[in-house]
Structure 1
Amino acid sequence: MAGVWRYTLAVAVLMCLWDFTEAVGGAVSRPRPVRRPPKKPKVDPIDLTQPAQNIDIERMTGTWYLLLAASKCSFLMTQGTKVEPTVMVLTRTPDSAQTLSVSTKTRHSHQCWEIRQVYTLTTTPGRLTLKGARPEMNTEIVVGETDYTSYAIIYYQKRGKMTMKLYSRSLDNLSEPMLAKFEQLSEKQGMGLAYLFPFPTYSHCGTVDEDHIINCVPTC
């Protein structure tokens, strides 16, 4: 009888050991969790936009009339049908070779306003920065394409949001192929026809009262 008891106890111990080794073995044999691949660094759209080769900033100076904008900014999305004629004048800053003075005139509440800004040149020709109150508020600017004498396509990015603008040296409408090209480029940025906003080409502002001269960073 004692022998049978010892045999039963031995079997019970072996079964416990078997269960334990099964448990341990099962844990070891489970496939190791697959590590997620590291996230690709975020690439801003502006970083994928290469400026035209050998942009001569001196030849970009002068008067430019805004003809067309492509943007998803809230202002244009809600007020795009009420945009006013807008003209931009670029001049070299007298006291610095690394900056560009920008004067933009437009109407607001039936009055002419002038917005004065300063663009900082970067080491890449055709790339500029409009500095905000903090670095994350900077506006990055790229002269995507221009022939200096008739048109310029300029990209603006602020806080990851892109705006494209088509400028003309004169008030004459640009050719259909050029307008179609701008539409194609804006489509590549995810801005189809619903995000295109034409600007008037008549009744631009002339002189502006000092009370209507401001220094600020437009949202679009």
Structure 2
Amino acid sequence: MQRALSLVSLLVLGSAWTLQGAHILRETLTLTQEDFDLDRFMGKWYEVAVASTCPHYMQRKRGNPVIVALTLQHDVSDGNFTMMATTFRNGSCQQTSRNYGLTNTPGRFFYHVAKFGADVDSYVVHTNYDEYAMILQLSTEKQSGNTTTIVKLYGRTMDVSPAVSDNFKTLVRRHGMSDAAIIMNQNKGGCVPGEPVTDHATPQRGLPQRTKRNVAPPVDSGYLTT
């Protein structure tokens, strides 16, 4: 009788795990854009807005809320893609790159950051390919077990429509953050690493704009920055 009860318990437990696994799988699948098209997603984007549950990340972004120019290129040879990010930082124009690995779920990518021991999953939640893309990034630091959620808004141009902004706010709220957590990046113009950088911020009255030169080499901006 005891053996029979144990067997029943194991079956119930197994069924529970199976249902939980199926639920997690459904959750993962619903995170990504339906019928995601990788080739249409490639090309030039701008990081227009961000929100995150990580205080350190948000502190860095508030200190330099600048639109980041992104270039995505699919490497057909290994099936992955590279993201090149160009932005103003520390008075210079800096460029970083990151390789994203593809998964069996279209619209879901991953990368590992050895410096922080973090595994990062990126999901293209919504996109119409020609105007905007909303990105969800979930990470876990292996050593501490800390988890981080970041939601990003990409645009094919540096401006997005009010409707897209409203939908982005809804997505941010859905992941436990308020509208106050959203940082709208500022347009300071384009730049090319190695060339003189012009600060496009509004100058004080009576003071001329200053031209800055790239005196600092490109640096790794830390995980989840782009």
TM-score (norm. length: structure 2): 0.69
Aligned-pair CA distance for 1:66: 1.0
C-alpha separation in 2, matches of 1:135 and 1:85: 25
C-alpha separation in 2, matches of 1:77 and 1:133: 21
SS of equivalent residue, structure 1 residue 186 = helix
Q: Which structure has the higher relative contact order (CA within 8 Å, separation 6+)?
A: 1
Whether the 8 Å contact between 2:51 and 2:58 is mirrored in structure 1 is no
Aligned-pair CA distance for 1:52: 0.7
Runs of 4+ aligned structure 1 residues displaced above 6 Å come to 38-43
Structure 2 residue 118 is matched with structure 1 residue 137: yes
Question: Which protein has the bigger helix share?
Answer: 1
Q: Percent identity?
A: 22
Of 209-218 and 70-79, more deviation after overlay is shown by 209-218
Structure 2 residues not aligned, in runs of 5+:
1-12, 141-146, 196-213
SS of equivalent residue, structure 1 residue 87 = strand
C-alpha separation in 2, matches of 1:55 and 1:48: 11
Q: 1:56 aligns with which of 37, 60, 84?
A: 37
| 1:15 aligned residue | none
| 1:218 aligned residue | 223
Q: 2:166 aligns with which of 165, 177, 180?
A: 180
| 1:126 aligned residue | 107
Amino acid of the residue matched to residue 110 of structure 1? G
Whether the 8 Å contact between 1:116 and 1:214 is mirrored in structure 2 is no
Q: 1:82 aligns with which of 64, 76, 79?
A: 64
| 1:33 aligned residue | none
1:1-220 correspondence to structure 2 within 5 Å: 47=28, 50-79=31-60, 80=62, 82-93=64-75, 95-96=77-78, 98-133=79-114, 137-159=118-140, 160-171=147-158, 173-208=159-194, 212-214=217-219, 217-220=222-225
Aligned-pair CA distance for 1:86: 0.8
Q: Which protein has the larger Cα radius of gyration, Structure 1 or Structure 2?
A: 1
TM-score (norm. length: structure 1): 0.71
C-alpha separation in 2, matches of 1:51 and 1:71: 19
| 2:209 aligned residue | none
Give the length in aligned residue pairs. 180
CA RMSD of aligned residues (A): 3.0
**What is the CA deviation profile of residues 128-180 of structure 1, one whole-angstrom value per residue up to 9, with x for unaligned ones?**
00123399611100000111111000111111211010010012x21111101
Structure 1 residues not aligned, in runs of 5+:
1-37
